[in-house]
Amino acid sequence: MSMDQDGWSAGPAQSGEVGSDSTTEHVGFLERLWQSITGILIGLALVAATIWGIFWNEGRAIGTTRALNEGSGVTVTVPPTRVDPANEGKLVHVSGDLRSGGRLTDSDFQITTDAVRLVRKVEMYQWKEEQRTETRSNAGGSQTRTTTYEYTRVWSDRPIDSSRFRRPGGHENPAMPVTGRSQTAPNATIGAFRAESRVVGLFGSSAERRLEVTDAQLRAFQARFGSQARLADGNVYVGYDAGSPAVGDVRISYTVLPEGPVTVVAKQVAQGFGPYQASNGRDVFLGETGTKAAQELYAHAHESNRILTWVLRLVALIVMWIGFNLVLRPFVVLADVIPLFGSAMAAGAGIVALALTLVVALPTFAIAWFWHRPVMSIALIAAGVAGAYGLKLLGERRRAAAPPAGGQVVGGPMAGPQPAGWPAEAAPAGYPAQPGYPPQTAYAQQPGYPPQPGHPPQGWPQPAPPQQQGGFLNVPPGLRPGQGG
């Protein structure tokens, strides 16, 4: 790869990256500082806009949920075979066959079909400019920015204006000879009901099917583009070699929304359908392909609403983080007088911006939820307080039921003070003196103990009977001679 004096590098003639052009600019410290101070206003505006966006998104989500819930409760299922005037203005659920009521034709190339919607997609192989900027901090706070412009060839269904390129020479895009288009059957029906374009629009591109071009239909394309028009995998390719496209080559493909069973939940308007407006002003207007129950459409609508809500919440957090980064940018620029300090400050600013985002965004979400649903919010707060109080009482009861320190069992047979008159040093016959235990006879007379004179308290090991050994008694361990029985 060679490079000329202007920084242009010539690359291969195939698709992908084929060259680049770069520019380098030097930005002084004061200019950077002024830009960062200006960025504070932009950052504050982003933070404010995000706070407003959070309130809007929560209100949109709650409003949509309420409208769907309201609609679910008033939906009336009606047969598709007859339009009942009594249902005028009501929210109805209809499942029936979607029919085109006539053939659709692409008049430019005489492509005809019985589908309800016919879509022509046109793509042209074009130059595309992409730019990438790299910065290098210098001692003293200045910065060197190098912007590289790269040129690639891509398929695009929209014309790319090459006159706006930094280096348009050698990257000229021709005008697209034909553009895409979409048309809907004007007389489409669902059973006895009319299906206008807004109703057909409920069935998105995911419901469309591919339409292949035949050899007989290719003639109209050859009449327009000449011998360069040929079939390639069921589509029309205009160019010399589909395996190695050149700038200006065109490919044309078709998709259709076929006839078949569909389901609609909408307001009955005369002989057709329209959006149903709930009491909060939100519209209920649902449609899917296939025969489905009304609740299935509502369930899918709720799921789509939840996904959109979380996506917008994530976007709000990112935008707010960017805003706080811009607010903290002057500190990074000041620290960047010494590049090493600037890098550390930039990392620190990102962490601080994240912390500020959480500190501001999370309460904003809570306030927005409370603002739009105060009754439920108060109920949730009350439930949380009641739960915390219940856990506190449960913990106190468990602590009260726990055994005291020292291993004593609360409420056991020897708990509490001993009855008056019990000798402190007395013990049952054959046992060493134990403080707090009564003499043998006294123990046998105490209420609550089994009347078994001579037996030790429950839980004490049974003493071995004295044995005569060489004129001496076999005294149990711990007893002095002369003690015991």
Strands 76-77 and 91-99 come out as parallel
Residue type, 225: F
Nearest to 63 by CA among 289, 257, 278, 216: 278
Q: Which residue has the tokens 């296939």?
A: 290
Mean pLDDT within 341-354:
87
Q: What percent of the chain has pLDDT over 90?
A: 54
- pLDDT over 50 at 483, yes or no: no
Distance in angstroms (rounded) separating the CA atoms of residues 382 and 388 = 10
- 118-132, 239-253, 368-382: least confident range: 368-382
Q: Answer yes or no: is pLDDT of 148 > 80.
A: yes
Range with the lowest mean pLDDT among 286-290, 345-349, 397-401, 413-417? Answer: 413-417
Q: What is the pLDDT of residues 382-394, one digit of tens each?
A: 776 777 778 778 8
Average pLDDT value over all residues in the chain: 81
Angstrom distance (rounded) from CA 444 to CA 454 = 8
Q: Structure tokens of 153?
A: 């060839």
Rounded CA gap, 364 and 47, in Å? Answer: 11
- Report d(CA 129, CA 162) in Å as an integer: 8
So what's the pLDDT on residue 465? 54
Give the pLDDT band of residue 405 (cuts 50, 70, 90): low
Burial of residue 237, with CB atoms counted within 10 A of its CB: 0-12 exposed, 13-18 middle, 19 or more buried: buried
Of 427 and 459, the one with more pLDDT: 459
Higher per-residue confidence, 436 vs 351: 351
Across the range 369-383, mean pLDDT stands at 71
For 63, counting Cβ atoms within 10 Å of its Cβ (0-12 exposed, 13-18 middle, 19+ buried), the class is middle
Backbone angles phi, psi at 145, to 5 degrees: -115, 125
Is there a contact between 24 and 149 (Cβ–Cβ < 8 Å)? no
Higher pLDDT, 411 or 323: 323
pLDDT in tens, 2-60: 333 333 333 333 444 456 666 776 667 677 778 888 889 999 999 999 999 999 999 99
pLDDT attached to residue 30: 79
Which distant-in-sequence residues (6+ apart) come within 8 Å of 93 by Cβ?
75, 76, 77, 78, 263, 264, 265, 293, 294, 297
CB 101 within 8 A of CB 187: yes
pLDDT for 26? 65
* Residue partners of 328: CB distance under 8 A and separation at least 6: 349, 352, 353
- Scan for tokens 């020897």, then name that residue: 414
